[in-house]
Chain A
Amino acid sequence: MATLQSLDIRRRSASTEAPPQIRSTIEVAKLIDVSKCIGCKACQAACLEWNDLKQEIGYFEGTYDNPTDLTPASWTVMRFTEYEHGDDLEWLIRKDGCMHCDDPGCLTACPAPGAIVQYTNGIVDFVSENCIGCGYCVKGCPFNIPRISKVDRKAYKCTLCSDRVAVGQAPACAKACPTQAIYFGSKADMIAHAENRVVDLKSRGFKNAGLYDPPGVGGTHVMYVLHHADKPSLYAGLPDDPEISPMVGLWKGVMKPISLAAIAFAGVFGFLHYITKGPNEVSEADQRKGDDLAGGKHS
């Protein structure tokens, strides 16, 4: 049983037993409406402040992206893209961070029991206590989100403010967002809201506006409204069709049982061989012949 009533566990990394599943709770989601985002970085500031993160101060690197990438202390960053088509210019600004996949690659890849959990509300959370710092989550993630701290060798990423959601509050970034470019609620409500937004965007000439809730990872609990939903990669490389890498699937899928089976088979084969054939022993005759050969030499 979960100690916090509002957060039951649905999945747990590297665990052979399924957590209790008797209760059902609503799934939550964060909807990031890129068409409303002004790139003010309030979400970044709120995230740093709420989570008591101390990101190092960098330099100007030729872009408004600061820090230039996610780090163990920056769980969300704004990615700015200047998209020119013909005479028109669009400044696409995407808040990057954990997507809280329904089928989380990080959790699949994680070898440490309970280091990554997925709550029944959809939040995928890293449990630092159990993290061993192997970086497999990084390899498992189709969105390149987790970062390993150089200080404590533990993996970090957006928690969707599980501590706030657990007590019925919205994540810090969502609460802060000045323009409701980040909206938080039940996943069903967010999808309904997104549909309205898409209608509005289409009326403003964005024919390909749409919701980004990629089925390749079972859908996500962080979704985007995009003006160009036909080309997600325009938005600083948002994957067009993300899925858990087939290599990770192989590694964390069939390979595990087959490997163990092969090892077990080798052991069992040896055991059976031994008990059926008996030990391979040197016979008296061989011993004698050996002595003869050596003796001939020696004497």
Chain B
Amino acid sequence: MSENNVVSRYTTAARINHWITAISLILLALSGMALFHPSLFFLTNLFGGGQMTRAIHPWIGVVLFFSFLGLFFRFFTLNLWNRDDTVWMKNLGAVINDREEGLPELGKYNAGQKLVFWGQSILILLLFASGIVLWDVYFEDYTTIDQKRLAAVVHALCAIGAILIWIVHVYAAIWIKGTLRAMTRGSVTRGWSWKHHRKWFRQEVGKP
């Protein structure tokens, strides 16, 4: 740590893991949207055309899945739900309006982050499963056309869900200043920690 007045939040490995996931997700969203809506088909050019987009998309999905699996096992214990999260959720309005005073002190993740975590976990699992069903190159013969049709709907719905969650996630990082550096430099300021994740901060400070 180059500065003394920061708190370490993510290890280098965690950050690499996160960014692989993030980039995969963005690429998946771009390629997926290109194939989802005709007005966005031009995005296939980013991937070398329609055939390439179609071919690459599932492979990126595989990367995302395993990358996310890493994140999942890294963080799932920290994302277990507790009573404070329920309180926090009840005061979501206050959170959005940046009036967090009086809310319980938070651990490493607030309820919103936990929802992002669990939301993406479930959706990525569903996306992976439905994606396999749709991945005709290798798995065409294992499912019926009706199952594939269902998978297509599930895949699209989950993808939209995941994109929406991603938007919330990204926006939160942009809105809450000082957040981004957690994933760029691995550390956050003490003030940020105090303000947003005081319980976690106390724990970090209390560490030997």
Contact = CB atoms under 8 A, between A and B. Distances in A.
A255 B153 contact: yes
A288 B4 CA distance: 14
B190 A294 contact: yes
Nearest to A280: B176
A179 B160 CA distance: 53
A67 interface: no
Contacts of A196: none
Contact of A266 (B53, B134, B168, B202): B168
A297 B175 contact: no
Contact of A291 (B38, B177, B190, B206): B190
Contacts of B149: 139, 245, 247-248, 251
B114 interface: no
Interface stretch (A37-45, A129-137, A156-164, A170-178): A129-137
A132 B193 contact: no
A139 B164 contact: no
Interface stretch (B77-85, B120-128, B140-148): B140-148
Interface in B182-205: 189-195, 201-202, 205
A290 interface: yes
Given A245-B146, A282-B192, A293-B190, A266 B164 contact: yes
B50 A130 contact: yes
Chain A binding site: helix, strand, loop or mixed by DSSP? helix
A287 B194 contact: yes
B174 A153 contact: no
B191 A290 contact: yes
Contacts of A280: 98, 175-177
A256 B32 CA distance: 12
Interface centre among B150, B167, B202 (most CB of A within 10 A): B167
A293 B197 CA distance: 13
Nearest to A257: B37
Contacts of B201: 290, 293-294
A272 to B, nearest CB: 11
B2 interface: no
B98 A247 contact: no
A148 B178 contact: no
Contacts of A298: 4
Contact of B192 (A273, A290, A296): A290
For the complex of A and B, 6 pairs with smallest distance between CB atoms? A290-B190, A287-B191, A132-B50, A290-B194, A14-B38, A270-B171
Given A153-B137, A284-B191, A293-B202, 18 more contacts: A14-B41, A112-B41, A132-B44, A139-B152, A148-B136, A247-B149, A248-B149, A251-B153, A255-B160, A259-B160, A263-B160, A263-B167, A266-B171, A282-B177, A282-B189, A293-B201, A294-B205, A297-B206
Interface of B: 4-5, 7, 34-39, 41, 44, 49-51, 53-55, 96-98, 134, 136-137, 140, 145-146, 148-150, 152-153, 156-157, 160, 163-164, 167-168, 171, 174-178, 189-195, 201-202, 205-206
Interface of A: 14-16, 111-113, 115, 130-136, 138-139, 144, 148, 153, 245, 247-248, 250-251, 255-256, 259-260, 262-263, 266-267, 270, 273-274, 277, 279-284, 286-291, 293-294, 296-298
17 contacts: A16-B38, A111-B34, A111-B36, A133-B54, A134-B54, A153-B137, A248-B149, A263-B164, A266-B168, A267-B167, A270-B174, A280-B175, A283-B195, A286-B192, A291-B191, A294-B201, A294-B205
